[in-house]
């Protein structure tokens, strides 16, 4: 946990580009190699501010509290909250673990929108190509158990989708208003284009999530209705 100096995602900077730079790529590959990811967090999205005199300043998410699958399996209720910065230029991050609570086994849950993530196919292939000297069904079971962790790691990268959509919409509104005031500024136009792309993707993911939840509710209610219909 702490200040990692580099951002991880393009949307970790207010009004930033929707593309990764070399520092972000190196940081991303480093976390992939050691299998660390963000523990689900709330609070301040941007944890660091640089505010030069006479300018609007720069907001970025540089502070992170990371965990791995082993940690999450033991402390599945772990959560993080980033407090307001106060007089500091960094937001303090608070990790909360509910000790003593009985953990329950989670089933295999899959979010359909994960298939659109750029790392999804390579992650699946990475799990499936590893040889295991056990029976065929045992091999499938073991690989599905590993995939459960992979899907959870990818899902954590999205954070809270509703909050992400609202945040990107707010950033897009600000950028579009700024562009309207300075219509010949190419940098502002580029920011608007990148933010619009990121916002549309987040909205697509959010819509896919809502559709999947609605289908699950519909199936559950249908099964309950069918069960009561055949009950003597």
pLDDT in tens, 45-78: 888 887 655 455 678 888 888 888 778 777 777 8
Indicate if 149 and 171 belong to the same structural domain. no
- Residue 224: predicted pLDDT: 62
**Pairing verdict, β 41-43 and 79-82:** parallel
Mean pLDDT value across residues 188-209: 86
Cβ–Cβ < 8 Å for 28, 20: yes
Indicate if 78 and 5 belong to the same structural domain. yes
Indicate if 31 and 90 belong to the same structural domain. yes
- Residue 163: predicted pLDDT: 83
Mean pLDDT value across residues 214-230: 69
Q: Containing H/E element for 31?
A: helix 22-34
Give the Cα separation of 50 and 58 in Å (integer): 5
Give long-range contacts, CB 8 A cutoff, 24+ apart: 171-174.
Answer: 171/14, 171/15, 171/195, 172/196, 172/199, 174/15
**Pairing verdict, β 48-50 and 93-96:** unpaired
Indicate if 62 and 30 belong to the same structural domain. yes
Domain that holds residue 194: 161-232
Q: How many domains does the chain have?
A: 3
Q: What is the CATH number of the domain that holds 32?
A: 3.60.10.10
Q: Which two tokens stand for residue 204?
A: 């697509």
- Residue 159: predicted pLDDT: 72
Query: pLDDT band at residue 197, thresholds of 50, 70 and 90?
Result: confident
Which of 101-105, 143-147, 164-168 bottoms out in mean pLDDT, i.e. has the lowest? 101-105
Average pLDDT, the chain: 78
Cβ–Cβ < 8 Å for 151, 114: yes
pLDDT over 80 (residue 158): no
Mean pLDDT value across residues 144-155: 78
- Residue 55: predicted pLDDT: 55
- Residue 169: predicted pLDDT: 87
Indicate if 227 and 140 belong to the same structural domain. no
Give the Cα separation of 152 and 148 in Å (integer): 6
- Residue 229: predicted pLDDT: 52
Domain final residue, candidates 56, 80, 103 = 103
Mean pLDDT value across residues 163-186: 85
pLDDT over 80 (residue 211): yes
Cβ–Cβ < 8 Å for 138, 186: no
Indicate if 17 and 111 belong to the same structural domain. no
Query: pLDDT band at residue 147, thresholds of 50, 70 and 90?
Result: confident
Residue among 103, 111, 59 nearest 82 (CA): 59
Query: pLDDT band at residue 187, thresholds of 50, 70 and 90?
Result: confident
- Residue 230: predicted pLDDT: 52
Indicate if 7 and 44 belong to the same structural domain. yes
Indicate if 95 and 123 belong to the same structural domain. no
Q: Which two tokens stand for residue 6?
A: 């580099």
pLDDT in tens, 98-121: 765 545 555 567 788 888 887 888
Indicate if 136 and 228 belong to the same structural domain. no
Indicate if 53 and 34 belong to the same structural domain. yes
Indicate if 14 and 96 belong to the same structural domain. yes
Indicate if 153 and 168 belong to the same structural domain. no
Residue among 103, 104, 106, 84 nearest 93 (CA): 84
């Amino acid at each position: 946990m702490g200040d990692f100096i580099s951002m991880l995602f393009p949307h970790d900077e207010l009004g930033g580009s929707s593309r990764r730079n070399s520092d972000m790529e190196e940081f991303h590959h480093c976390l992939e190699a050691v299998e660390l990811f963000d523990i689900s967090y709330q609070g301040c999205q941007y944890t660091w501010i640089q505010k030069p005199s006479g300018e609007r300043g720069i907001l970025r998410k540089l502070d992170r509290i990371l965990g791995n699958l082993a940690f999450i399996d033991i402390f599945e209720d772990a959560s993080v909250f980033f407090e307001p910065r106060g007089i500091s230029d960094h937001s303090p991050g608070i990790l909360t673990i509910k000790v003593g609570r009985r953990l329950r086994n989670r089933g295999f849950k899959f979010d359909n929108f994960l298939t659109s993530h750029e790392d999804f196919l390579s992650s699946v292939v990475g799990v499936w190509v590893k040889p295991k000297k056990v029976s065929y069904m045992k091999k499938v079971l073991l690989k599905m158990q590993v995939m459960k962790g992979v899907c959870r790691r990818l899902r954590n990268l999205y954070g809270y989708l509703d909050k992400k959509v609202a945040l990107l919409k707010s950033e897009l509104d600000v950028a579009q208003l700024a562009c309207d005031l300075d219509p010949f500024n190419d940098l502002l136009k580029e920011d608007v284009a990148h933010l619009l792309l990121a916002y549309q993707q987040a909205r697509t993911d959010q819509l896919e999530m809502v559709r999947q939840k609605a289908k699950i509710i519909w199936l559950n209610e249908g099964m309950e209705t069918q069960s009561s219909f055949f009950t003597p």
